[in-house]
């Protein structure tokens, strides 16, 4: 019997639909190695990852300082007994308290963005004794039951209903709609300071501040989900700093693991998690934390990730490289308005709105042929994301822009007939 190929095995043992999608896109070789902003497939082809590993790779793949820290930690302790305390999570929590805005201070560690949001939702209920949540259309907070319940796309929700019952969804960026939805029964309002999967939507100035005021007026908790927008990508450590607004709970994941480890965190103000004093084990997780736990390997790596972000001025780099990329993309948009209708975002969190249905897929496929990995958005099929590693060299961005121009020209030939 001939050996099956990796694509057949992917279809047979993991997910047939995904295997079909790779086949359709013409992906014939798996990735086997990566470095900085570049991924290499088994045939030795180099790709520039403008999707940054779905937003994880703010530091790029295998940043040397972060790899060194992981290796050193592996020689000491990776996972704890959980009977004695460990130091690395404490050091990380202290750093997070220092870099997050306002009074945010207490960290609960976990393994993913969805879990960080689960913690925030549960904490908001425990703090307020209320059940209702308010979220927004197009929101993406993860695919566990709670996080899914407050997400904004029915496609991912319908097969799993009933979800959390008391969820009100309002249009994103509309402070009046938010005001109308929040009353004294609301435990929390959950918002992405820039919607990622919704299509890289930057809210109008004043929206986050209005959300803060509305929550305060009703005793509701404000949760900012910075799982995608956090960690320097937008030009601030956290996107909510643009409006100088601090939430009661801030969730972070993706880039926190420095491109090496899965980790998430829910950072809370002392007031928002006062109940931990009496109930220290109310919300815990074996690999994540709570109750003094936390994984030494993941949290040591995350400490290094934060230090690298500071030492290498990721915020400054995101601003200058983001401006360069956005300028280039806007000039392509002016040349091919039938392909790209808008370029928006902050820093190196940019979205390309394509001019009509179907164009995004074609553009992605043309880019793939030119060895550029772009990313769609899960809740808005017309938008492609550019969220590359912050360490991406300027010359690589120039090359990407040349490739996008060529790809757009190719798509323009057929876009008019769609």
Per the CB < 8 A criterion, the answer to whether 310 and 258 are in contact is no
CB under 6 A: which stretch of 13-21, 41-49, 108-116, 360-368 binds ligand PMP?
108-116
Q: Is 179 left (phi over 0), alpha (psi -120 to 50) or beta?
A: alpha
Which two structure tokens, joined as six digits, stand for 219?
């005793």
Instruction: Kindly calculate the radius of gyration of the chain based on its CA atoms and give it in whole angstroms.
Output: 21
Per the CB < 8 A criterion, the answer to whether 259 and 69 are in contact is no
Q: Phi, psi at residue 251, to the nearest 5°?
A: -110, 140
- Residue 385 binds ligand PMP, judged by CB under 6 A: no
Q: Report the residue number, 276 or 373, with the smaller CB distance to ligand PMP.
A: 373
Q: Rule CB under 6 A: which of 397-416 touch ligand PMP?
A: none
How far apart (Å, rounded) are the C-alpha atoms in residues 260 and 289? 18
- Residue 227 binds ligand PMP, judged by CB under 6 A: yes
CA nearest 346: which of 223, 228, 252, 248? 228
Q: Report the residue number, 146 or 328, with the smaller CB distance to ligand PMP.
A: 146
- Residue 112 binds ligand PMP, judged by CB under 6 A: yes
What sign has the CA pseudo-torsion 70, 241, 173, 354? Answer: negative
Rounded least distance, CB 251 to ligand PMP, Å: 7
- Residue 91: Cβ-neighbour burial (10 angstroms; 0-12, 13-18, 19+): middle
Residue number of the CB atom closest to ligand PMP:
113
How far apart (Å, rounded) are the C-alpha atoms in residues 334 and 355? 12
Q: Rule CB under 6 A: which of 234-253 touch ligand PMP?
A: 253
Residue from the set 47, 106, 140, 314 that interacts with ligand PMP by CB under 6 A: 140
Rounded least distance, CB 241 to ligand PMP, Å: 16
Rounded least distance, CB 58 to ligand PMP, Å: 13
- Residue 228 binds ligand PMP, judged by CB under 6 A: yes
Q: Rule CB under 6 A: which of 253-272 touch ligand PMP?
A: 253
Number of residues that bind ligand PMP (CB under 6 A): 14
- Residue 58 binds ligand PMP, judged by CB under 6 A: no
Rounded least distance, CB 350 to ligand PMP, Å: 15
Rounded least distance, CB 280 to ligand PMP, Å: 25
Q: How many CA atoms lie within 13 A of 307 on its CB side?
A: 14
- The contact mask relative to ligand PMP for 157-196 (x = CB under 6 A, - = no) is -----------------------------------x---x
- The C-alpha angle with vertex 335 and arms to 332 and 340, in degrees rounded to 5, equals 60
How far apart (Å, rounded) are the C-alpha atoms in residues 391 and 259? 12
| Cα distance between the two ends of the chain | 45
CB under 6 A: which stretch of 16-24, 93-101, 112-120, 168-176 binds ligand PMP?
112-120
How far apart (Å, rounded) are the C-alpha atoms in residues 322 and 387? 9
- Residue 126 binds ligand PMP, judged by CB under 6 A: no
CA nearest 342: which of 377, 332, 31? 332
What sign has the CA pseudo-torsion 166, 171, 173, 178? Answer: negative
- Residue 377 binds ligand PMP, judged by CB under 6 A: no
Q: Report the residue number, 117 or 269, with the smaller CB distance to ligand PMP.
A: 117
CB under 6 A: which stretch of 111-119, 125-133, 181-189, 232-240 binds ligand PMP?
111-119
CB under 6 A: which stretch of 135-143, 213-221, 275-283, 357-365 binds ligand PMP?
135-143
Q: Phi, psi at residue 90, to the nearest 5°?
A: -65, -45
Q: Report the residue number, 225 or 353, with the smaller CB distance to ligand PMP.
A: 225
Per the CB < 8 A criterion, the answer to whether 209 and 247 are in contact is no
Residue from the set 80, 101, 113, 293 that interacts with ligand PMP by CB under 6 A: 113
What residues make contact with ligand PMP under the rule CB under 6 A? 112-114, 117, 140-142, 192, 196-197, 225, 227-228, 253
């Amino acid at each position: 019997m001939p050996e099956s190929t990796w694509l057949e095995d992917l279809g047979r043992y993991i997910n047939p639909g995904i295997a079909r999608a790779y086949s359709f896109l013409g992906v014939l070789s798996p990735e086997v190695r990566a470095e900085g902003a570049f991924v290499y497939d088994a045939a030795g082809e180099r790709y520039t990852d403008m999707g940054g590993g779905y937003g994880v790779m703010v530091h790029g793949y295998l940043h040397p300082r972060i790899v060194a820290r992981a290796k050193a930690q592996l020689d000491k302790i990776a996972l704890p007994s959980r009977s004695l305390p460990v130091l690395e999570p404490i050091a990380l929590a202290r750093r997070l308290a220092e870099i997050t805005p306002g009074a945010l201070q207490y960290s609960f560690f976990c393994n993913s963005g969805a879990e960080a949001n689960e913690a925030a939702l549960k904490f908001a209920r425990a703090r307020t004794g209320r059940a209702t949540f308010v979220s927004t259309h197009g929101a993406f907070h993860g695919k566990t039951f709670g996080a899914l319940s407050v997400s904004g796309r029915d496609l991912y929700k319908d097969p799993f209903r009933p979800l959390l019952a008391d969820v009100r969804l309002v249009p994103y960026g509309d402070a009046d709609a938010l005001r109308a939805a929040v009353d004294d029964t609301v435990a929390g309002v959950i918002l992405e300071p820039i919607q990622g999967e919704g299509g890289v939507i930057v809210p109008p100035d004043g929206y986050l501040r209005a959300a803060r005021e509305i929550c305060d007026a009703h005793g509701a908790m404000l949760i900012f989900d910075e799982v995608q927008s956090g960690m320097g990508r937008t030009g601030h450590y956290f996107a909510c700093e643009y409006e100088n607004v601090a939430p009661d709970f801030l969730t972070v994941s993706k880039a926190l693991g420095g491109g090496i480890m899965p980790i998430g965190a829910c950072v809370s103000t002392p007031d928002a998690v006062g109940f931990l004093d009496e109930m220290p084990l109310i919300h815990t997780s074996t690999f994540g934390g709570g109750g003094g736990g936390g994984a030494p390997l993941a949290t040591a790596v995350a400490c290094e990730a934060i230090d690298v972000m500071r030492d290498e001025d990721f915020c400054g780099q995101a601003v200058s490289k983001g401006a360069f990329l956005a300028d280039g993309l806007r000039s392509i948009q002016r040349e091919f308005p039938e392909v790209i209708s808008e370029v928006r975002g902050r820093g190196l969190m940019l979205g390309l709105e394509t001019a009509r249905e179907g164009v995004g897929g074609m553009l992605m496929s043309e880019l793939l042929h030119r060895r550029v990995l772009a990313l769609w958005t899960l809740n808005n099929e017309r938008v492609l994301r550019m969220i590359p590693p912050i360490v991406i060299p300027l010359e690589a961005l120039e090359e990407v822009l040349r490739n996008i121009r060529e790809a757009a020209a190719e798509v323009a030939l057929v876009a008019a007939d769609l």
